[in-house]
Structures are given as C-alpha cells and as structure tokens.
Amino acid sequence: MDPNRHEVSLARPIDGNLLRVCNLTVSYRLGPAYESTALKQVSFTVNCAEIVGLLGESGCGKSTTALALMQMLPANARISMGSIQLDGCNLLSMKEDRLRRLRGSETSIVYQDSETLNPMMRVGNQVMEVLRAHKPAKTAQMRDEIYSIFAALGLKDCDRIYRAFPHQLSGGQRRRVAIAQALICKPRLVIADEPTSSLDSEATTGILDIFRQLRATHNTAILLISHDPETLRAADRLLVMYAGEIVESGPLNEVFEHPAHPYTRALLQCSTRQAAPPMFGVNRHSLACIPGEPPDPCEVLPGCGFSPRCSNRAEICDSLRPRLFEISGVHSARCLQYEARE
C-alpha cells in the first residue's frame, strides 16, 4: 500500500474548511491572442458536512468551476491566478498521479448528463471499477458494498440493475448509478454538476434527499451546481455566479428571502414557483425574464458585468468594478449600492 495514499485526508484543516478556493481565475484560449475569461477571481469555501449551492445561468462558469476543482480542465484552459486547497493541500501544484488517486476517492463528481456510463459495460462493473481503482478488495465484498449503496440510493432490484447495461435502465436509474459511482468510495467532497437536469420532479426530490442523507451519515461536503433555484433548496449556503464572478453569497434562506444583488433578485423572479402558474384564462401572466444578454467573456468591461441589464443601474456602475461588500456577517454581494452602507 502506498504510504502517501491517505496523506490528504490525514492532514486536518486548521480552520475547518474542507475546500478553499482563492482568487481562481480561469481563461480559455480560443485562438492566438484571443482568450475568454471564464472565471474571474472566484473565492469561496466549503466546510465539512456542508451543502453549498452554486447558482447561475448557462455559460456563467459553473461547470468550469467544477472541472477546475477536479483539475480536469480542457487542454486550452489556463489557470492564470489563484489557488484551490483541499484539506490544506494545493491542488494546482499536485502531481498528476496523486490527483488521480484523489479523483473518485476524496473528491468526486456527479456529472450533468446521463451519458457518463459506457453503453457496452454492465453498470455494476462500472461502479466496481471505481472501487477497484481506489479501494481494491475481494470481488464478492466489493459487490456487497455496491449492492448496499444501490439500496441506499433507492434502487430496488439491485441484482438486476447490477447486471444491466445502461440502455436497460431508465434515466433516473442511470443517474442514480452515476451517483453510486461518485459515492462508492465515500469521498469527502462531492461536486454535483446539474445532478437533476432532465429528471422529473419526483426523481429530483429523491436525488436531493440522497444528498441530504449523505451529508448526515458521512459528513460529506457537497457543492451543488444548478441553474434552477428550486434544486438548490437542499443547500445550506448559496453562491450566485454571474459572468464568471461570484456576485452574492450567503445562507440559503437569507439569499432567497432578501436577495441583495440585483441579478439574484431578477433571477429569483424568473423562477417558475415565484410566478403564478399560468392557467386557462385565469391569472395568466408571462414569466419574468432578465432583459439583455450576459457580457461577452472575451471583452473586458471596466465596470460591473451586470450593469447593462441592471434595473437600478447608477452612473458609476459602468466605470467601477465592484468588490464583494459585506451586508451582514455571512451575507455579501458584489454591488456598488452597498458601498455607501459599509
């Protein structure tokens, strides 16, 4: 057994942060001398046994964040600044083979689509491969472990599912198998990138319950990434991302009830539950939407990224880039309207 194997998990963090991301800046090279900045100085922390929600629309950098945390950014991506610390170890300076031992065993990802299973392999074997890569044991023992995680994930008829090929399972079952793959080694940080996309509300609730249970039983920290505020109701703390920046962060209830940033406010108004459900002729009004489009990530705006779409924009918003202002001890927003208040 490799003595370095558990080095990361043995080194206890001093301040209780499992994951600490500091000033992470990622850009994609799209051509010679042509870069688009996907993440701009993103900083956040995730504690043990905490569910952190990351909310934002498509293209705002959510998936880039997830891939950066796994150190699996595509070849044309470049981390120009910042650090990612897992348990006090900097992932950016870590060697590839150590990162590989970390992936799947310490940090794990539930990916957003259901094509993460190889169509030509039985799903049970695919889960076992993960276990075999990180915690090899006797086959029968590993199979028992997989059966128990299948059962915990609400997959009935484990035996059939274990031997099934992906096409023989429903979308929800496939997603659960993918989650089983991510959780089988009991990682301490799970990144769930749109884990419930294209699932119906019942399956969505089931999967969110699984995450809550997991946090309760194994102290797993979960970074829940979604574009849908409803999905993130399972989270304790919410980060709102816009155009590669974290524009607001705070406890879930506070952010949902008193959104501080104009973008968060607008986004929550767009949410389906907030608008009255349209019925035939009765109480019909269209869904709210945010006018305009997110800024081109290739352009560098001098001011706030949201200012062109903002409803209460001031003169200064176009020229001054806001920093994250503290509203209360745990709640902060990146908007100049709070500058005066501080």
Partner 1 sequence: MRLLSKKSLLLMSLVAIHVPILFSGLFAPYDVAEQNRDFSFVPPSRIHFTDAHRTLHLRPSVCSLENSGFGQYHENRDRCFPIHFLIMGSPYLLFGVFKSNLHLFGVEAPAKIFLMGTDLYGRDVFSRFLYGGQLSLLTGILATALSLGFGVLFGTLAGYYGGWPDAVIMRIAELFLALPWLYLLFAVRAFLPLNLNAAAAFCLLVSVIGIVGWARPARLVRGIALSSRERHYVLAARLFGGSDSYLIRRHVLPDAYAVIITQAVLLIPQYVLAEVTLSFLGLGVGEPTPSWGNMLSTLQQYQVLVSYWWLAIPGAVLVPVFCSYLLLASELQPRRTAIDA
Q: Phi and psi for 98 in degrees, rounded to 5? A: -75, -35
Q: Name, in order, each residue with C-beta under 8 angstroms of 18's C-beta and a sequence gap of 6 or more.
A: 46, 47, 48, 50, 86, 87, 188, 189, 221
Binding of partner 1 at residue 102 (CB under 8 A)? Answer: yes
Binding of partner 1 at residue 70 (CB under 8 A)? Answer: yes
Among 104, 259, 297, 322, binds partner 1 (CB under 8 A): 104
Between residues 101 and 215, which has the closer beta carbon with respect to partner 1?
101
Between residues 27 and 105, which has the closer beta carbon with respect to partner 1?
105
Among 7, 35, 129, 236, binds partner 1 (CB under 8 A): 129
Between residues 105 and 204, which has the closer beta carbon with respect to partner 1?
105
Q: What pairs with residue 6 in β-bridges?
A: none
Q: Rounded to whole angstroms, how far apart are CA atoms 231 and 234?
A: 7
Minimum distance from CB of 161 to partner 1 (Å)?
17
Q: Rounded to whole angstroms, how far apart are CA atoms 99 and 70?
A: 8
Beta carbons of 211 and 51 less than 8 angstroms apart = yes
Binding of partner 1 at residue 121 (CB under 8 A)? Answer: yes
Among 20, 40, 62, 103, binds partner 1 (CB under 8 A): 103
Between residues 12 and 167, which has the closer beta carbon with respect to partner 1?
167
Identify which range of 139-147, 178-186, 271-279, 307-315 contacts partner 1 by CB under 8 A.
Answer: 178-186
Q: What pairs with residue 245 in β-bridges?
A: 242
Q: Name, in order, each residue with C-beta under 8 angstroms of 310's C-beta and a sequence gap of 6 or more.
A: 262, 263, 304, 317
Between residues 97 and 200, which has the closer beta carbon with respect to partner 1?
97
Minimum distance from CB of 134 to partner 1 (Å)?
6
Q: Rounded to whole angstroms, how far apart are CA atoms 202 and 214?
A: 18
SS3 per-residue string spanning 208-265: HHHHHHHHHHHCCEEEEEECCCCHHHHCCEEEEEECCEEEEEEEHHHHHHCCCCHHHH
Binding of partner 1 at residue 325 (CB under 8 A)? Answer: no
Between residues 82 and 104, which has the closer beta carbon with respect to partner 1?
104
Could you write out the DSSP letters of every residue in 154-177? Answer: T-S-HHHHHH--GGGS-HHHHHHH
Identify which range of 41-49, 118-126, 145-153, 198-206 contacts partner 1 by CB under 8 A.
Answer: 118-126
Minimum distance from CB of 67 to partner 1 (Å)?
9
Residues forming contacts to partner 1 in the complex (CB under 8 A) are 70, 72, 97, 100-105, 108-109, 111, 113, 115-121, 129-130, 133-134, 178, 181-182
